[in-house]
């Protein structure tokens, strides 16, 4: 594999190409010229018209002196744009102002309101005189006015007061008998059929009466067929069969709970009494009428675990102790090429101080031990401060969390937030993550950077008592960190109003947009109170961003900037990746060898494919005197959190995990990742091995390659390793390049379609790829 970050420094894109290269100037010896990009080109692809600026970045300019609106996260920027108004002023606006001349205007004078004793200029419908409305007409019935009664066509009264009703008159004919002088409801001859006319009855198809008066009672045969049995001659409510046909029962109790059975309509559904309300999982009522919407019952009727997690610490020491100290290769971060594409790309920041951040944030950044921003932070902080939509794709462990938390908090602190507590909360920032543990970690980071400020971060996630989290939320919430399922649930229960949302952030965004979470994200983004894209800002972060997911992401964003660093979508160059060929039945022995020889007392995460295997392997290791624990979707949330805590504290040094722990988790001292089972999806491989070798620390991953199962992925694996400048094991190389070998393609598509490369697809004019990947079926993550 490549030795260090030097290997991933790519040459800056040639000036004629799209994109911007941000090679930092310290080490390259080449100073970029001052000023902004040199010219722009417009590249159009099939998906959308996207302007891509090109040229090299100028000398970084201090935000304070930057003259363009985007680069300077200063108060001036805040005051000049549509978010610039401090929140407090929102309380002073229209709601408190008297509104001129509307319905609610209480003054009887000039405003022209309808209310009040004074008269406006509109005339009474009855007598046509001004100064009163028809219902107060003192002249009612006394004639006057020019509008004629519908019944007798005489002026001076309306049809309901007609003194001549029934006596004929008027030119409009009754629908029933077609005679003039009365309306159908007063028809003296309703079923005589004597009327005639050319309108026909829906039931029997005869003229002269309408269907409810049909003398055939449904026995007649019109051309229309019954919805139940499909026969002609009667309507469904009179169906003699009471069922039949292929009509489905669509709505039993609610549209969500229907049996979809044939032969009856929903109100006759035989299962109506058995279908469970999805809120409390009890029968006998619809969710709308649910008496216990926050029930803690599971779907199978068992009592849900009553788990109330301990909230994030408020102790300064504990808060700032969390996180990993940067390692020996952190210095190499400066050499990583930062690529930024999009239109009107904002100036990158060179230091936290130069970004114009508020003192409180700078203090907290310092307390966290951050001396300088990582490349993804340099790019993303500038883009978010400039209030642009963003996709940021950077290697695992390179500080993406702070890359969005810091600028977003800076904007909230500058603009002010509403001091709020109440039944319905209006967060300004919504961050969604795929797993509970990652959400907890993000929330903790948010508490860290918000330390000593007015900002309140609140977390909601599954597997915990809802009422507890709801009351946390209702105590005030500026930054909401959530898993998708719990957020959707709370939205359905009306806990949130999104009208104040400025930022919607998806962490591990490629995962959030795939088929597993995609529909939830769609619901969240399309919530009626959520400001539309372009009004709210949408930011997406991940170490991998397949092109087909970029196509989905584009639907949530407007004119977004794409930030990438180093080898995009590749594995972390600080992780030494080793592979052992190993048949399925040899895996246990091999694992023991690895743990005894290499890991010993060190910390390792052992990734397996299924929850069952996780339990099995953890039990096996414990039986062999290894301090192991496990985390997967079938464990109770309290058990999951205990397992993670014990692993972090070193009480257990081996954590056996499914993919639920593959992404985002930032655990100090993880020296090894073992892929007991390789994942089918190589993006997950990138994330798994990224649990070690974080922020410039060195790490090692050992993967057991079972040719029978993993063979089909060999080409893609070689492609990934090559692109990441990692060593390709000889056996893998032989497998793909030997005579009759599988061959490989650098942009080999992953399971669902597109390549795993994480370049900005707009620059390459790529078409969106195939369908998004399905979620691993057996995991329920949030």
Ligand X SMILES: Nc1ncnc2c1ncn2[C@@H]1O[C@H](COP(=O)(O)OP(=O)(O)OP(=O)(O)O)[C@@H](O)[C@H]1O
8 near ligand X, judged by CB under 6 A: no
User: Helices 375-385 and 400-415, interaxial angle, to 10°?
Assistant: 30
Nearer to ligand X, 613 or 758 (CB): 758
**Region binding ligand X by CB under 6 A among candidate stretches 257-265, 471-479, 689-697, 766-774:** 689-697
Nearer to ligand X, 304 or 358 (CB): 358
The number of angstroms, rounded, from the C-alpha of 423 to the middle of its chain's C-alpha atoms is: 23
Nearer to ligand X, 332 or 396 (CB): 396
Q: What are φ and ψ of residue 684, in 5° steps?
A: -65, -30
The residue written with tokens 């959400």 in the block is 439
701 neighbors 689 (Cβ within 8 angstroms)? yes
The residue written with tokens 């257990």 in the block is 652
Task: Report, in Å, the least distance between residue 656 CB and ligand X.
Answer: 19
Torsion 163-168-174-180 (CA) sign: negative
Task: Report, in Å, the least distance between residue 342 CB and ligand X.
Answer: 21
Nearer to ligand X, 664 or 752 (CB): 664
Long-range contacts of 266-274 (CB under 8 A, 24+ apart): 268/242
Strands (E), 621-698: 628-631, 654-657, 670-675
Task: Report, in Å, the least distance between residue 457 CB and ligand X.
Answer: 15
9, 12, 28 from 335: Cα distances, Å = 6, 12, 7
Site track for ligand X across 361-390, x = CB under 6 A: ---------x--xx--x-------------
**Residue closest to ligand X, measured at CB:** 399
Nearer to ligand X, 394 or 717 (CB): 394
690 near ligand X, judged by CB under 6 A: yes
Residue 341: name the closest of 764, 778, 727 by CA. Answer: 764
Site track for ligand X across 394-413, x = CB under 6 A: x-xxxxxxx-----------
**Region binding ligand X by CB under 6 A among candidate stretches 297-305, 322-330, 633-641, 673-681:** 322-330
Nearer to ligand X, 268 or 576 (CB): 576
591 near ligand X, judged by CB under 6 A: no
565 near ligand X, judged by CB under 6 A: no
Task: Report, in Å, the least distance between residue 493 CB and ligand X.
Answer: 30
Task: Report, in Å, the least distance between residue 254 CB and ligand X.
Answer: 39
Q: How far is Cα 710 from Cα 623, in angstroms, rounded to an integer?
A: 28
55, 389, 578 from 216: Cα distances, Å = 82, 66, 84
Q: Which two tokens stand for residue 134?
A: 């028809």
Rg of the chain, C-alpha, whole Å = 34
572 near ligand X, judged by CB under 6 A: no
For residue 270, the tally of other CB atoms under 10 A from its CB is: 12
Task: Report, in Å, the least distance between residue 665 CB and ligand X.
Answer: 7
Q: Which residue of 618, 695, 748, 761 would you call a contact of ligand X, by CB under 6 A?
A: 695
Task: Report, in Å, the least distance between residue 524 CB and ligand X.
Answer: 21
Q: How far is Cα 218 from Cα 93, in angstroms, rounded to an integer?
A: 61
Nearer to ligand X, 379 or 397 (CB): 397
Positions in 323-342 near ligand X (CB under 6 A): 323-324, 326
Residues 674-704: b if buried by 16+ CB within 10 A, e if exposed: bbbbbbbbbbbbbbbbbbbbbbbbbbbbbbb
633 near ligand X, judged by CB under 6 A: no
Q: What are φ and ψ of residue 575, in 5° steps?
A: -105, 120
Residue 489: name the closest of 296, 753, 710 by CA. Answer: 296
Total residues interacting with ligand X, rule: CB under 6 A:
21
744 neighbors 548 (Cβ within 8 angstroms)? no
Nearer to ligand X, 264 or 400 (CB): 400
Nearer to ligand X, 461 or 496 (CB): 461
Task: Report, in Å, the least distance between residue 508 CB and ligand X.
Answer: 7
Q: How far is Cα 399 from Cα 769, in angstroms, rounded to an integer?
A: 29
Q: Is 300 buried (19+), middle (13-18) or exposed (0-12) by CB count in 10 A? A: exposed
Q: How far is Cα 765 from Cα 769, in angstroms, rounded to an integer?
A: 12
Nearer to ligand X, 398 or 630 (CB): 398
Task: Report, in Å, the least distance between residue 533 CB and ligand X.
Answer: 24
Paired strand residues for 562:
341, 391
Q: How many helices (H) and strands (E) does the chain have?
A: 21, 17
Q: What are φ and ψ of residue 278, in 5° steps?
A: -75, -10
**Region binding ligand X by CB under 6 A among candidate stretches 393-401, 521-529, 608-616, 773-781:** 393-401
Nearer to ligand X, 145 or 690 (CB): 690
Q: What are φ and ψ of residue 612, in 5° steps?
A: -60, -45
Nearer to ligand X, 159 or 324 (CB): 324
Nearer to ligand X, 429 or 473 (CB): 429
Site track for ligand X across 655-674, x = CB under 6 A: ---------x-x--------
Q: Is 355 buried (19+), middle (13-18) or exposed (0-12) by CB count in 10 A? A: buried
Task: Report, in Å, the least distance between residue 745 CB and ligand X.
Answer: 25
18 near ligand X, judged by CB under 6 A: no
527 near ligand X, judged by CB under 6 A: no
Q: Which residue of 543, 594, 660, 735 would you call a contact of ligand X, by CB under 6 A?
A: 543
Task: Report, in Å, the least distance between residue 773 CB and ligand X.
Answer: 18
Note the residues at the interface with ligand X (CB under 6 A): 323-324, 326, 370, 373-374, 377, 394, 396-402, 543, 664, 666, 690, 694-695
């Amino acid at each position: 594999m490549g030795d260090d970050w030097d290997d991933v420094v790519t040459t800056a894109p040639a000036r004629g190409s799209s994109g911007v290269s941000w090679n930092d100037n310290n080490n390259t010896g080449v100073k970029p010229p001052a000023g902004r990009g040199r010219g722009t080109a417009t590249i159009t692809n099939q998906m959308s018209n996207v302007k891509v600026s090109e040229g090299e970045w100028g000398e970084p300019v201090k935000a304070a002196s930057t003259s363009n609106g985007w680069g300077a996260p200063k108060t001036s920027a805040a005051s000049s744009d549509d978010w610039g108004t401090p929140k407090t002023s929102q309380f002073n606006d229209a709601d408190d102002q008297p509104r001129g001349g509307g319905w609610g205007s209480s003054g009887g004078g000039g405003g022209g309101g309808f209310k009040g004793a004074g008269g406006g200029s509109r005339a009474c419908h009855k007598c046509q005189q001004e100064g009163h409305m028809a219902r107060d007409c003192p002249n009612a019935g006394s004639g006057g006015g020019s509008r004629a009664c519908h019944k007798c066509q005489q002026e001076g009264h309306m049809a309901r007061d007609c003194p001549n009703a029934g006596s004929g008159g008027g030119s409009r004919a009754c629908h029933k008998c077609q005679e003039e002088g009365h309306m159908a409801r007063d028809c003296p001859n309703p079923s005589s059929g004597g009327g005639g006319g050319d309108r026909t009855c829906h039931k029997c198809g005869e003229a002269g009466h309408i269907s409810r008066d049909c003398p055939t009672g449904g026995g007649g045969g019109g051309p229309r067929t019954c919805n139940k049995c499909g026969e002609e001659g009667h309507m469904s409510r009179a169906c003699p069969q009471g069922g039949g046909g292929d009509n489905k029962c669509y709505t039993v109790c609610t549209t969500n709970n229907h049996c979809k059975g044939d032969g009856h309509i929903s109100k006759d559904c035989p299962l109506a009494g058995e279908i469970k309300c999805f809120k409390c999982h009890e029968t006998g009522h619809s969710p709308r009428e649910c008496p216990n919407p926050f029930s803690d019952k599971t779907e199978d009727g068992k009592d849900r675990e009553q788990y109330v997690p301990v909230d994030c610490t408020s102790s300064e020491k504990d808060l700032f102790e969390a996180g990993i100290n940067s390692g020996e290769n952190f210095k190499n971060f400066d050499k990583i090429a930062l690529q930024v594409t999009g239109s009107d790309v904002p100036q990158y920041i060179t230091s936290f101080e130069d970004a114009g951040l508020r003192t409180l944030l700078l203090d907290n950044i310092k307390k966290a031990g951050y001396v300088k921003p990582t490349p993804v932070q340099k790019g993303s902080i500038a883009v978010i401060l400039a209030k642009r939509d963003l996709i940021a794709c950077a290697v695992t462990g390179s500080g993406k969390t702070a890359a969005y938390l810091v600028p977003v908090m800076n904007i909230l602190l500058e603009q002010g937030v509403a001091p709020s507590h109440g039944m319905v909360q209006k967060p300004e920032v919504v961050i969604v993550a795929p797993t509970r543990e990652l959400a907890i970690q993000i929330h903790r980071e948010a508490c860290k950077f918000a330390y000593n400020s007015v900002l309140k971060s609140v977390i909601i996630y599954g597997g915990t008592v809802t009422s507890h989290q709801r009351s946390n939320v209702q105590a005030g919430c500026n930054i909401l960190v959530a898993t998708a399922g719990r957020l959707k649930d709370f939205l359905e229960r009306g806990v949130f109003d999104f009208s104040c949302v400025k930022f919607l952030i998806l962490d591990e965004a490629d995962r959030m947009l795939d088929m597993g979470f995609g529909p939830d994200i769609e619901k969240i983004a399309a919530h009626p109170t959520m400001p539309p894209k372009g009004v709210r800002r949408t930011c997406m972060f991940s170490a991998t961003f397949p092109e087909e997911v970029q196509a989905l992401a584009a639907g949530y964003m407007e004119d977004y900037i794409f930030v990438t660093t180093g080898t995009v979508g590749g594995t972390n160059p600080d992780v030494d990746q080793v592979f052992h060929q190993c048949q399925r039945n040899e895996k246990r022995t091999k694992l023991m060898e690895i743990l005894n020889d290499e890991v010993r007392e060190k910390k390792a995460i052992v990734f397996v494919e299924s929850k069952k295997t996780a339990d099995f392997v953890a039990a096996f290791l414990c039986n062999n005197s290894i301090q192991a624990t496990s985390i997967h979707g079938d464990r109770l949330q309290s058990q999951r959190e205990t397992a993670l805590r014990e692993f972090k504290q070193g009480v257990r040094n081996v954590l056996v995990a499914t993919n639920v722990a593959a992404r985002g988790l930032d655990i100090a001292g993880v020296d090894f990742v073992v892929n007991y089972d390789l994942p089918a999806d190589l993006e997950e491989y990138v994330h798994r091995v990224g649990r070690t070798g974080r922020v410039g620390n060195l790490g090692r991953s050992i993967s057991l390659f079972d040719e029978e199962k993993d063979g089909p992925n060999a080409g893609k694996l070689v492609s990934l390793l090559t692109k990441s400048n990692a060593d390709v094991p000889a056996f893998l190389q032989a497998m793909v390049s030997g005579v009759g070998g599988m061959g490989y393609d650098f942009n080999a598509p992953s399971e669902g379609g597109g390549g795993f490369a994480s370049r900005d697809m707009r620059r390459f004019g790529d078409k969106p790829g195939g369908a998004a990947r399905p979620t691993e079926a057996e995991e329920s993550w949030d």
